[in-house]
Amino acid sequence: MNAIISASELASALAGGSPPVLLDVRWQLSVAEAAGEPPFDGRAAYAAGHLPGAVFVDLDRELAGAAGAAGRHPLPDLAEFGAAMRRAGVSSARPVVVYDGGQGWAAARAWWLLRWTGHPDVSVLDGGLTAWEGPLSTDVPTPPEGDFAPVPAAAGLLDAEGAAALARSGVLFDARAGERYRGDVEPIDRVGGHIPGAVSAPTNDNVGPDGRFLPAEELGARFKALGAADGTEVGVYCGSGVSGAHEVLALAVAGIPAALYVGSWSEWSADPSRPVAVGPDPQ
């Protein structure tokens, strides 16, 4: 199974006898929303045109729980997540392809959740909707109910304590932009900076100008240069467990397994008792 799929590969799969389930997870991090401005409306974008047969999945409501002490996008209730996936037609024996508007963060969040809860065959459309050259549709499908029942894995998920420990014993990547890692700016959370010991590894550096992932060899070289040597345990966090999922996906493309701290900086920084490092140095 490949973690990503090209637009041409997806077109061929959709034309075959056993097409994958398509999930449209268009979403955008809106800094303006923190100032009270209207957020991006993924459902409206879906209604205006989507891949034929795709079902819309709402990241905030179906791929995350309510914001609170556990962060802005904590894990969803797994029973509710499973029900949402079954409504979308997801079954364990059928491949799933997830896409978003092109940034890849939201699609990666769906990919990570499905993989972590046991789906054996999930991939992300590399480059998202912007890479698709086929027709779009405004028809809203009603797929037959799927049978997917999420069973969380024992590995692959970090809590705050686990992330702090991994920053000392292995490598913990901070997937946010460098200025947020350093604490130069913090547009959303209580305080700027990073988890002590974490290494800055911005997600945007994993893709080219077209939004598609760099070749696996280049990604592997990048992460190894940042400390992900063979045998090193790797974890990732970001602001709220969305762009961090994209970094976990990039690591998977490179053949490097990694765990995700879903609560991420939005959970870590909300507790004044937790230490905060600032500046370019991990410590």
Would you please indicate which residues are annotated as catalytic (active-site) residues?
238
- Map residue 157 onto helix, strand or coil: strand
Contact, 162 vs 235, CB < 8 A?
yes
- Cβ partners under 8 Å of residue 81, min gap 6: 62, 63, 113, 117, 150
What are the structure tokens assigned to 280, written together?
A: 């370019």
Residue 86 C-alpha from the chain's centroid: 20
Angle of CA points 145, 109, 116, to nearest 5° = 70
Three-state secondary structure readout of 78-109: HHHHHHHHHHCCCCCCCCEEEECCCCCHHHHH
What are the structure tokens assigned to 221, written together?
A: 């070289």
Contact, 249 vs 222, CB < 8 A?
no
Return left, alpha or beta for 255; rule: phi > 0 is left, psi -120 to 50 is alpha, else beta: left
Contact, 247 vs 201, CB < 8 A?
yes
